[in-house]
Amino acid sequence: MELANRVKTLTPSATLAITAKANELKGQGHDVIGLGAGEPDFNTPTYILDAAEEAMRNGLTKYTPSGGIPALKQAIIEKFARDNGLTYSSDNVIVTTGAKHALYTLFQVILNKGDEVIVPAPYWVSYPEQVKLAEGTPVFINAEEENNFKVTPEQLRKVITPKTKAVVINSPSNPTGMMYNRQELQKLGEVCLEHNVLMVSDEIYEKLIYSDDPHVSVAALSDEFKANTIIINGVSKSHAMTGWRIGYAAGPVGIIKPMTSLASHSTSNPTSIAQYAALAAYRAYEQPVEDMRRVFSERLDVLYELLNDIPGISCVKPKGAFYLFPNVQNAVKQTGYDTVDDWAKALLEEEKVALVPGTGFGAPENVRLSYAVSMDALKEAAERIKRFVENHQ
């Protein structure tokens, strides 16, 4: 059967491809260290599990309002006020089936054929694909490594055209872990406002920060910015709840309302019991979130040192999320491979370390390593990578 044009150019997720290969090797009995994962290695905290169980037992297993149960929306509104200094009302918020589906729904709602969305590279793999699925055109700008993987207002201004609808800001970033500070966001936000370009601020890694710099939401910088921003967030990364599929978007009613209508005809609503679990996550104490953050922070410090010690590998120290994004271009050359993809494939085959080539993130000189694995596994992985590089010199 002839498939729809929209799926013909879809690129399979780079992360999933390496994970599949790693699993295949594991299945053959190999001792594989997987650094490809995009999710915390912790279990969802017990108080959240209890809330879901209670919801289930109390019969809260039916359809809910499309945009989410009022109590969860209220908890999200309180979270915005507490953490970000932002005031939203219920009409400004939609709860979605993960942050990914908030983004998907958003692009479906705002893009017409040929509309452009600026996506700074390195980028999270789904942004360009989701833009294309909405018949939009992703326009890439390079967030240079020398500039700590941040784009400048000048870069942004240069690529804006009359067709530009939105720009994606992901801070802290997957895959680089970089974070924009208040002044940088101010300048980027001004360019967007000047040209009537919507800011899509993906703040999913907000709670995973390892620097003294605070997380700043661009929407909080002024009322005008707030009216020109859609915030994307969720509990997947902050509360180790990736499988529960609860995310949300907040922004102007004119965008949130059609998103809710679209959701009513696609997902109907996010899973009821997962919404009650997320409600507990936001209503209860935050200690488990902080405990996880501290463990990630310790791992980052150790892995960062170990990687930078390997000849041909250099790494900008990330400030957030749970990834390192080293430049391995010299190591690739030294070891005689043509591309990062070939290098990563050989590393997996020879030393059984799975990491994700940067190609899928728009960064063909880098690889992404997730430190959502135990400290012992990280140390062993670094040792294996070092041996691989040395063996091929």
**Least distance in angstroms from the C-beta of 55 to ligand PLP:** 19
Question: Could you tell me which stretch among 48-56, 78-86, 97-105, 293-301 binds ligand PLP (CB under 6 A)?
Answer: 97-105
CA 121/CA 115 separation, integer angstroms:
19
Of residues 236 and 335, the one with the C-beta less far from ligand PLP: 236
Q: Is residue 175 reached through a cis peptide bond, with omega within 30 degrees of 0 on the bond before it?
A: yes
Give the rounded distance of the alpha carbon of 45 from its chain centre. 21
**Least distance in angstroms from the C-beta of 237 to ligand PLP:** 7
124 makes contact with ligand PLP (CB under 6 A):
yes
Q: For 320, which DSSP code? A: B
98 makes contact with ligand PLP (CB under 6 A):
yes
Backbone Cα Rg of the chain: 21
Q: Which residue is nearest to ligand PLP (CB)?
A: 98
Out of 100, 215, 239, 352, the residue judged to bind ligand PLP by CB under 6 A: 100
Question: Could you tell me which stretch among 17-25, 96-104, 303-311, 384-392 binds ligand PLP (CB under 6 A)?
Answer: 96-104
Residue carrying structure tokens 């692009």: 107
157: helix, strand or coil: helix
Of residues 130 and 335, the one with the C-beta less far from ligand PLP: 130
Of residues 271 and 314, the one with the C-beta less far from ligand PLP: 271
322: helix, strand or coil: coil
Name residues contacting ligand PLP, limited to 143-202 (CB under 6 A).
Answer: 170, 174, 202
370 makes contact with ligand PLP (CB under 6 A):
no
Of residues 242 and 308, the one with the C-beta less far from ligand PLP: 242
Question: Do 141 and 118 contact (CB within 8 A), yes or no?
Answer: yes
**Least distance in angstroms from the C-beta of 64 to ligand PLP:** 18
**Least distance in angstroms from the C-beta of 385 to ligand PLP:** 23
CA 170/CA 211 separation, integer angstroms:
17
Per-residue contact flags (x/-) with ligand PLP for residues 21 to 40, judged by CB under 6 A: -----------------x--
Question: Do 33 and 355 contact (CB within 8 A), yes or no?
Answer: no
Q: Is beta strand 323-324 parallel, antiparallel or unpaired with respect to 367-370?
A: antiparallel
Question: Could you tell me which stretch among 95-103, 276-284, 312-320, 340-348 binds ligand PLP (CB under 6 A)?
Answer: 95-103
Q: For 84, which DSSP code? A: I
Q: Is residue 311 reached through a cis peptide bond, with omega within 30 degrees of 0 on the bond before it?
A: no
386 makes contact with ligand PLP (CB under 6 A):
no
Name residues contacting ligand PLP, limited to 257-286 (CB under 6 A).
Answer: none
Please provide the distance, in angstroms rounded to a whole number, between the alpha carbons at the two ends of the chain.
49
**Least distance in angstroms from the C-beta of 272 to ligand PLP:** 17
In single-letter form, the type of residue at position 107 comes to F
Closest CA to 215 of 323, 83, 77, 76: 83
- Of all helices (H) and strands (E), which one includes residue 32? none
Out of 36, 136, 234, 288, the residue judged to bind ligand PLP by CB under 6 A: 234
Of residues 164 and 238, the one with the C-beta less far from ligand PLP: 238
239 makes contact with ligand PLP (CB under 6 A):
no
CA 366/CA 329 separation, integer angstroms:
7
Q: Which residues does residue 368 pair with via DSSP β-bridges, in sequence order?
A: 356
122 makes contact with ligand PLP (CB under 6 A):
no
Out of 51, 99, 168, 316, the residue judged to bind ligand PLP by CB under 6 A: 99
Q: What are phi and psi of 224, to 5 degrees?
A: -65, -40
68 makes contact with ligand PLP (CB under 6 A):
no
CA 393/CA 351 separation, integer angstroms:
15
217 makes contact with ligand PLP (CB under 6 A):
no
Task: List residues binding ligand PLP (CB under 6 A).
Answer: 38, 98-100, 124, 170, 174, 202, 204, 234, 236, 242, 247
